[in-house]
Structure 1
């Protein structure tokens, strides 16, 4: 057990919010899980935070999360970490920004608007994070694995 892990219980309240009951019996409502490294090491380092952002509990890895709580934590993280994976870039409106991109993601085809070239960020190796004009984040897990057309279109902006 990590030094930040203390005996606790995790449950959902009647409103569907996560509640952590600590070893002293205190109820912390509206808690949320946060990954330390959501993109580069999603299975390492998970913190349970209270509504004001204070860390209540730390797990060095997903494997340390009690099995009964893991499902609740994964459900909460899935809702908070919505980040579609770009699988293909089919078309761009112009090679200058702002531009409109037609893309295919793991959640289906969509259209995004890229405000500036700085909205494409290399975060680790060949992994790219793209933020559209609405603030939604999309990820390209390995830009070297894109098809030839997608690579050519992407290279115009990098």
Structure 2
């Protein structure tokens, strides 16, 4: 039986980048499904973020092979009511998975507070852990952590910037 050495990649992740109304966008796909949707100002920085998130994987840029997937994600960012029915490769702890599943159940145009989300997953005292799970999300818009607000209704930190969070919420409110 052959085992992988610590330096050997454990998986292949293909990625492509483009632009949407929110700036640069990178999508990444493993053999199990979409594993990252990253937003930012520059594609190169997003590729660095992908490398940091999946350090033991082999990352391959595949603009042509992922063009349809990239277009589908861009269309979803532009019109969230369309939905995004793609297989997701969610990588996180059991707690993060619970939070992410609850996030996926928040309809477009609706919001919850971090405290309400903690109650929803049956962990009412875990508000900070819920916020941490939101921050650990690598699938912008597919796992809609932008729909979670402070208890006073204010926008708080968002991994991809508060301005992007505001823009996403405004776009969903118009639908």
TM over 0.5: same fold? Answer: no
The structure with more radius of gyration: 1
User: TM-score by structure 1 length?
Assistant: 0.29
User: TM-score by structure 2 length?
Assistant: 0.27
| Higher strand residue share | 1
Where relative contact order (Cα < 8 A, 6+ residues apart) is larger, the structure is 2
| Higher helix residue share | 2
